[in-house]
């Protein structure tokens, strides 16, 4: 009887052991993956904060070279995310990449701003950001970068861009014609 009881206990423990081991390995793997995501985002946020500080300095000094440095720093941050953090912090990364588009434009590198805007639209299809006045980031940048027809009469009325930009572009159009 004692031998049968010991054999039954050993059999029961042997049956439970693989499942427990599998669960432990899955838990450890999940924790490692989660830690990698958190580390990637921590590194990204530190890099982004440094780049945003460069952007603030560029704005304060009105320096095209600093705008370009900030844009390159933001691109470097995005490139450094890697696969472990690719699905984390999408909205933060989208805002930072949009800032890189603006910074390239402000720095005078229109070709790179256009390329980054195209990458932005491919990476975040159907997504857009909005300025404080409700203007669309994508539409504003398309008009500023010459990706939309600036001479079309109704273009400014239908585009979701700020009133100040519409007024300035209308003024430029008026003086180029008159």
The secondary structure of residue 83, as a DSSP letter, is G
* Distance, CA of 41 to CA of 34 (rounded, Å): 11
The average pLDDT across 53-74 equals 94
* Residue with the larger pLDDT of the pair 145 and 164: 145
Taking the domains of the chain in order of start, what are their residue ranges?
A: 10-78+88-100
Q: Tally DSSP H helices, then E strands, for the chain.
A: 7, 0
* Distance, CA of 121 to CA of 117 (rounded, Å): 6
Percent with pLDDT over 70 in the chain: 72
């Amino acid at each position: 009887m004692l031998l049968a009881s010991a054999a039954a206990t050993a059999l029961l423990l042997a049956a439970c052991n693989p499942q427990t081991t599998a669960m432990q390995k899955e838990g450890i793997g999940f924790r490692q993956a989660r830690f990698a995501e958190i580390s990637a985002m921590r590194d990204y946020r530190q890099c982004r904060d440094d780049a945003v500080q460069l952007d603030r300095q560029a704005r304060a000094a009105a320096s095209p070279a600093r705008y370009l440095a900030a844009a390159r720093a933001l691109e470097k941050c995005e490139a450094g995310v890697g696969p472990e953090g690719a699905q984390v912090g999408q909205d933060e990364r989208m805002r930072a990449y949009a800032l890189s588009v603006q910074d390239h434009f402000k720095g005078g590198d229109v070709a790179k701003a256009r390329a980054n805007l195209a990458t932005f639209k491919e990476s975040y299809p159907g997504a857009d950001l909005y300025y404080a006045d409700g203007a669309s980031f994508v539409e504003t940048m398309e008009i500023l970068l010459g990706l939309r027809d600036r001479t079309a009469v109704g273009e400014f009325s239908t585009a979701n861009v700020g009133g100040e930009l519409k007024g300035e572009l209308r003024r430029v159009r008026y003086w180029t014609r008159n």
